[in-house]
Amino acid sequence: MTISALKEKAEAFYPAIAFDLFLPYSLRKWIRLALLLIALFTIVGLSHIIVPIGYVVDKEFFAGIFFISFSLWIFMHLLEGMYYSYYFHDHEMYFEVAQILTYHDDLTVSFLTLPIGKYVMYRCGLSESEVKSFLKARKKTMTSNDFVLTDMTPRDRVTLADFGFSLMKHDKDFAYFLFERGIGEEMFRGAIDWVSSNMYLMRNSQRWWSRTQLSTIPSLGKNWSYGQVPILERHANLVDTHLAPLTDTKIDRLFSDDVIAIEQVLMKSREANAIIISDDGLTGVDIIRTMASHIARGVSHPYFEDKRIFIMHGTSFLESAGDLFVQEFQALLNEAQSAGNIILVIQHLASFVERAHTKGIDVVSIMEPYLNSNVSIVALSDTKGYHRTLESEVLITRFFEKVVAHALDEERTLILLQNEVYALETKYGVLFSYPSLIAVVQSAQRYFGEAVLADKALDIIHEIIPEIRSQGKKLIKKEDVLRVVETKTHIPQGVHSKKHKETLLSLEEKLHDRVVGQQPAITSIAKTLRRVNAGVSRTKRPMGTFLFAGPTGVGKTETAKALADIFFGGKENLIRFDMTEFSGLDGLQKLIGSTGGEVGLLASALRERQYGVLLLDEFEKAHSDVHNLFLQILDEGIFTDTRGESISARNVVVIATSNVGSELWSEATKNLTAEDKRAKLVDYIIDNRIFKPELLNRFDNIVVYSTLKENDLRDIARLQVYALRDRLKQQGIDLEINPFLLAYVVSKGSSNKFGAREMQRAIADTIESEIAEKIIAEKVHPGDTITFSSSQGEGEFLLSISPMRKN
Amino acid sequence: MKVLTLPFHYVAWHYSHGVADLWQTFTNILWFIKSFFSFKILLRTMFMPWQRLRERYDRRRGLGDIIGSLFINILMRIIGTIIRSVTLLVGAFVYVLFLIIGLLFFIAWFLIPPLMVFLFITGILAIIFNGQFDLNEVVI
């Protein structure tokens, strides 16, 4: 759509735009109040205060003031009425778009200067001064002739989001300004959508004469024509339509399909009961609230117009009623039946039934006589609970119709949060930026895999608010969310700290300090971790998955240890499993738990430490069932233990090591490239059916560790000897590192079969033992320096001690 | 300068969209009165016991009890019918009252712009011709 076509449409809003420009919205209410006070003062004040105390006043002058202020007061109200009329009129575009199109020829200036644009930028987490400096530094202005509206959403009205999206496409400077601050196109569109929706809600809430607002006032007749329910009121709550996300059409859209499904069940002439099953068991509450709001607004089926919905927490009722539970529950159901217009919602039915069962009470049997009466029961349950307890209950499957609620994915959770945040912002005087809200949802998804997304996201929100308030800040930014998540999970978030950035950028170098050679492996790990931390890789997988193949003692395990230490902040962040222990038929059970109640080792290790390196030594030796488990873990980063709980492995780097194919490498293959070696190894593994091809495919990289070369061995010797010197220094003893010592260690410790591991043994058997003897015999004291030098015998050495110089 | 045309735009709105919006508001409030007094529900349940309160019969407890229960139940129905009738009457009165007020407001709506201008000019004149201006004459 061209600019002229857009401006033509915008003309329909002209009177309201002109009015808003002349008197901004925020100023108008003060003007109205001032005019009213002046009018009142000229009548009341004049006759009751000034004249009685003896002042001589000019009555005509005051009367004139009264007529002017009163007429202007009425006029202001009427103008306001006109403003609302245009604002909500069903034109081909939204009011705000029209306002921007007519305010300034440079549409970017127009957008960023008007209050709506300022609000959008603030929601993007950008301060007013940032925006001002951008406008000041802007070299190229964008005339409206450059602008064409593209990518409209399939709606018949031009939304502010459509406009903003097109603006970003046409004004490259503006787009760059946003990109530079981490605001992409979709994020910008989302922020605008949120602001528009809030603005609409705010304006609408002030139109007391709209049907939406009038519907929030409860009616008289319902309570008089239907029975009283004191017991029900004691144990359950009337679903409050005032607090329900009534007016937000987005929220309505989220649950409307589910609401229709429930309404259809409840309108049945018999057995009108439903069970809403959702992953979290809580989505049902939102569906019920939406349904209640439809009833209040008179937009639901006429069948529901006089219904009252009560929601009851079964387990709490069970506990509070104590021994009288059965009688109370029956009385409650009788009451609901007699009342004649009750829809009873029972939360967490599965746990209610289970808990009652432990007390020898059969809840479902108590409900049975009422399941085919004029009281409708809606049960809510989480999926696991349903399968665990309710599915096998004949009465449940017979009398309750199953409605599976649409799962709340990230996008739906974000919409739900926007609605929840609206009330919290007003209450606590804070403002969430849109990127911060996205960070909340993403963090909830990534780091709290075991719990319900919306629930965990709300938890994070409730934790951030007091923290931000205590800092005296108002705007909650993405970084604030990441900091809270970091505190909660101890997982560094994103590339926000300088130290973290430096570690990532120099990861190869730092790993090489610990691991000798193995360039391809280390490069591969470093690249993967940089991708993950920059947020460009898939999040619903482990942070990285590698298969390290190669002979023993070449640095596979050392790489994993070094990674845990350098990147994840400590050796304790290494979870290590020797997979030979899981080679039997019970291997899988040992890892994920058994039906007998035994806790799985992998499940409990990951529950305890969800961030670090998961090292699977000798992976090929695990049972094929274990391989199948890892097929899922490597792919989705999540698995379910025998208790039915989801365990996340999305914050670990999975490193599987294997010695397979060691025999492939010889002198003849030493000149092969890393890629050729990898291909040769993969062929070997598949030909010998060591791993299934699909399992191999799941690894981000298969890295072949080469046999150590002569210079690698020398480097390892140096590392080992330096490590020994560090240990000795802790006792105040120094070790001189000379060419002889290094050559000696290499000669004793070189082994094709055991790699560098042999070197450790050699140092322990010879050098360390010799020093130990001297320490015990008190021939070496703190401050002394030990030197090894050659002796006459081949392979022998001479140990000399230089005592500390005494003055 | 554009703002100077605002009064003219206002007048145009007042006699076109303004009337339509006023009608919409009027129907909204009528809907609200109907919904607040629950006309449909009250009519449908006109002869039902007050808040569905009723005494249950127990045939084993003799005629006296049955008559007692019957009396209470009839009483509850009478109370229910009386309260509902009163509510319906009050509701109907409010409904009719609002219809009349609404109608008057509709008429007033057409007169508001000239009346406003008149008041404003009167005020200006009262200030300008202070002392030489008989306010009573204008107001009367």
**Mean pLDDT on A511-537:** 78
Q: How many whole angstroms separate alpha carbon A789 and alpha carbon A740?
A: 6
Which among A60, A220, A226 has CB closest to B131?
A: A60
Examine domains A214-404 and A499-704 and report if their fold is the same: yes
Q: Of A447, A374, A377, which is closest to residue A236 (Cα–Cα)?
A: A377
Asked whether residue B140 carries a pLDDT value surpassing 50, the answer given is no
Q: Kindly state the tokens that stand for A399.
A: 């009398």
* pLDDT confidence tier of residue B134, bands split at 50, 70 and 90: low
Q: Give the mean pLDDT of chain A.
A: 82
- For the domain with range A499-704, which CATH number is right: 3.40.50.300, 3.40.50.880, 3.30.70.270, 3.20.20.100? 3.40.50.300
| Candidate ranges A32-41, A671-680, A798-807; pick with highest mean pLDDT | A32-41
Q: How many whole angstroms separate alpha carbon A72 and alpha carbon A23?
A: 14
**Which residues 546-575 on chain A approach chain B with CB closer than 8 angstroms?**
none
Sort strands A574-578 and A612-617 into parallel, antiparallel or unpaired: parallel
Find the distance separating the first CA and the last CA of chain A, reported in whole Å: 93
CB contact under 8 A, B125 and A340: no
Is the dihedral angle over the CA atoms A201, A204, A206, A209 positive or is it negative? negative
Asked whether residue A762 carries a pLDDT value surpassing 70, the answer given is yes
Q: How many whole angstroms separate alpha carbon A190 and alpha carbon A389?
A: 41
For residue A806, the model assigns a pLDDT of: 42
Asked whether residue A25 carries a pLDDT value surpassing 90, the answer given is no
Q: Of A558, A568, A576, which is closest to residue A513 (Cα–Cα)?
A: A558
Chain A residues with CB under 8 Å of B13 CB are: 15, 82, 85-86
A719-754 residue pLDDT tens: 888 888 888 888 788 888 887 787 777 777 766 556
A748 to A218, A752, A762, A765: CA distances (angstroms): 90, 12, 6, 10
Burial of B28-43, coded b for 16+ CB within 10 Å and e otherwise, reads bbeebbebbbbbebbe
For residue B86, the model assigns a pLDDT of: 92
Q: How many whole angstroms separate alpha carbon A187 and alpha carbon A191?
A: 6
A296 to A227, A229, A308, A377: CA distances (angstroms): 19, 20, 10, 20
Q: Does domain A214-404 have CATH number 3.40.50.300?
A: yes
Q: What one-character DSSP code corresponds to residue A587?
A: H
For residue A753, the model assigns a pLDDT of: 59
pLDDT higher at A411 or B76: B76
A338 vs B: CB within 8 A: yes
pLDDT higher at A92 or A47: A92
For residue A209, the model assigns a pLDDT of: 83
- Interface confidence, given as ipTM, is 0.80
pLDDT higher at A43 or A155: A43
**Which residues 20-59 on chain A approach chain B with CB closer than 8 angstroms?**
21-22, 58-59
Inter-chain contacts counted by CB atoms under 8 A, chains A and B:
153
**Candidates A79, A225, A305, A338, partner chain B, best to mutate (most B CBs within 10 A):** A225
B40-79 residue pLDDT tens: 888 888 888 877 777 777 667 777 788 888 888 898 889 8
pLDDT higher at A117 or A300: A117
pLDDT higher at A493 or A366: A366
Q: Where are the domains of chain A?
A: 3-205, 214-404, 410-489, 499-704, 710-802
**Mean pLDDT on A246-250:** 52
Q: What is the CATH number of domain A410-489?
A: 1.10.8.60
For residue A449, the model assigns a pLDDT of: 58
Which residues are registered as beta bridge partners of A347?
A313
For residue A196, the model assigns a pLDDT of: 86
Q: How many whole angstroms separate alpha carbon A624 and alpha carbon A516?
A: 33
Q: How many whole angstroms separate alpha carbon A688 and alpha carbon A681?
A: 11
Asked whether residue A294 carries a pLDDT value surpassing 70, the answer given is yes
Q: How many whole angstroms separate alpha carbon A580 and alpha carbon A601?
A: 14
Which among A61, A298, A338 has CB closest to B130?
A: A61
Which residues are registered as beta bridge partners of A343?
A309, A376
Residues with Cβ within 8 Å of residue A82, at least 6 apart in sequence? A15, A16, A19, B10, B13, B14, B18
A684 vs B: CB within 8 A: no
Topology (CATH level 3) of domain A710-802: Helicase, Ruva Protein; domain 3 (1.10.8)
For residue A775, the model assigns a pLDDT of: 81
Chain A residues with CB under 8 Å of B123 CB are: 63-69, 71
Burial of A81-99, coded b for 16+ CB within 10 Å and e otherwise, reads bbbbbbbeeebbbbbbbbb
Q: Of A215, A427, A103, which is closest to residue B35 (Cα–Cα)?
A: A215
